[in-house]
Amino acid sequence: MLSLQCLPPFFISVPNRSTNSCSTAPLRATSDFAASPSTPIPRRLILLRHAHSSWDDISLRDHDRPLSKTGQADAAKVAQILSSLGWLPQLILSSDATRTRETLKSMQAQVDEFMEANVHFIPSFYSIAAMDGQTAEHLQNIISKYSTPDISTIMCMGHNKGWEEAASMLSGASVKLKTCNAALLQAFGNSWEEAFALSGPGGWKLEGLVAPDSSICV
């Protein structure tokens, strides 16, 4: 388990709900879960909001707005942080909006392992994020559709307000996601469907929040 001093910059660790002290943010399955081969394995879910977008061209539809230069730099930083933490997705499910596509492109340019992930662009991720309280269930359905039992880490890329709502609903915590912020969630199951079924709403552990410009422990 990483100590707080060993955490890379820009990682916001999340406190244990039973204590007021700062969590050391365990990032891997503990020995308790490794004791038996029949024990469900960890499933790690990264919910990433797109990086900062540009409003320079007011003629563009919202769906088509590109990243700003700040957004490109932030996406590269977050990719490096996730790599340092060992949270590298094998499957990436992303909104098809230009700003999410370009966020992923900047991350892939920074960290080669993001190029190795299987990527699917999901048009409904753009629209569902604007609908009250529907994103978490939609994410579960899409993850169940595209995942396989051998995949342990999935990153879903999208938009607010839905991504904040989904992170909060799954973890039972109040999660705020600014642009290019990621919530790191973990549950256990022999499949992704089982992980969702066993955890239920509020049962995913919020391991931490990643941001491009923060080193705050909360």
Q: H or E stretch including 106?
A: helix 98-110
CA 15 to the chain's CA centroid: 18
**Could you tell me which of 8, 6, 2, 3 has the C-alpha nearest to residue 212?**
8
Show the tokens assigned to 205. 């552990």
3-state secondary structure of 43: strand
Determine the Cα–Cα distance for residues 208 and 108; give it in Å rounded to an integer: 22
> What are the φ/ψ torsions at residue 129 (nearest 5 degrees)?
-65, -20
User: 189 forms bridges with which residues in the sheet?
Assistant: 41
Determine the Cα–Cα distance for residues 149 and 146; give it in Å rounded to an integer: 10
**Could you tell me which of 73, 68, 119 has the C-alpha nearest to residue 95?**
119
Show the tokens assigned to 63. 């769906």
Determine the Cα–Cα distance for residues 104 and 111; give it in Å rounded to an integer: 10
99 known member of a binding site:
yes
Show the tokens assigned to 186. 């973990």
The answer to whether 13 and 4 have CB atoms below 8 angstroms apart is yes
Known binding-site residue numbers for substrate: 99
Known binding-site residue numbers: 99
